[in-house]
Amino acid sequence: MDPLYAFVFAGLFSPGPNVILLTASGARFGFRATLPHVFGVAVGVGVIAALMGLGIGTLLLAQPALAFSLKLIAAGWILWMAYALIRAGDLSGGRAGERPFTFVQAVLFQWVNPKIWAVALAAAAGYGIGLNPAGEAQRLSTAFSGINLFVCLFWSFAGSLLALLLTTPRAWTVFRLCMAAALAASAVMVFL
């Protein structure tokens, strides 16, 4: 078995912004309503991995100012989402007008998700098999999208099951604050 798959699974299954947001969305809106978010993450992660296979990671390493700017944008966006989660409603389904990420929002979020960039860069640097850039891009994209689809399905379904335990407004408040704190911590991790 290609060691890339184990690396990608470990990197994507562990808690990070996508895991936290999908678990919270599954709990708040339900599994079915979270599916566009799930599919958007899987596609977006595949695109980032493909770009790493094509060599964009080299550009980021060569341009520290660009990399730092992306980190600032990512941390700011993640902190904004943590704040929005703190303000979110206490009950399943959220406040009127609130909804889970759309497919496009989830794809676009991957552009500021530092964990995905880091895992994809490490995979491209450490698990290449000597293919031409297009071949490596396809290999990485397929591995990341395929594995992440199942990871995302797991965490969003786990969130929907967790909602069965969140039967009081206090339980929802504790859950929401824990998810927001974990998301804010992931913003800090951008700079480590």
Higher pLDDT, 141 or 95: 141
Model confidence at 149, pLDDT cuts 50, 70, 90, reads very high
* Beta carbons of 173 and 90 less than 8 angstroms apart: yes
CA-to-CA dists, residue 40 to 34, 106, 127, 128, 145, angstroms: 10, 5, 25, 25, 10
User: Domain boundaries in the chain?
Assistant: 3-191
Q: Nearest to residue 52, comparing CAs of 110, 102, 106?
A: 110
Instruction: Specify burial of residue 170 (Cβ count, 10 A radius: 0-12, 13-18, 19+).
Output: exposed
pLDDT of residue 142: 97
* CA pair distance 180, 66, nearest whole angstrom: 27
Across the range 141-159, mean pLDDT stands at: 97
30 torsion bin: left (phi>0), alpha (psi -120 to 50), beta (else) = left
pLDDT of residue 159: 96
Across the range 162-190, mean pLDDT stands at: 89
Across the range 87-98, mean pLDDT stands at: 63
Across the range 52-60, mean pLDDT stands at: 85
Higher pLDDT, 150 or 122: 150
* CA pair distance 15, 141, nearest whole angstrom: 21
* Beta carbons of 132 and 67 less than 8 angstroms apart: no
> Taking the model in full, what pTM does it have?
0.87
pLDDT of residue 103: 98
* CA pair distance 13, 131, nearest whole angstrom: 26
Q: Nearest to residue 137, comparing CAs of 192, 67, 73, 55?
A: 55
* CA pair distance 152, 19, nearest whole angstrom: 7
* Beta carbons of 184 and 77 less than 8 angstroms apart: no
* Beta carbons of 116 and 45 less than 8 angstroms apart: yes
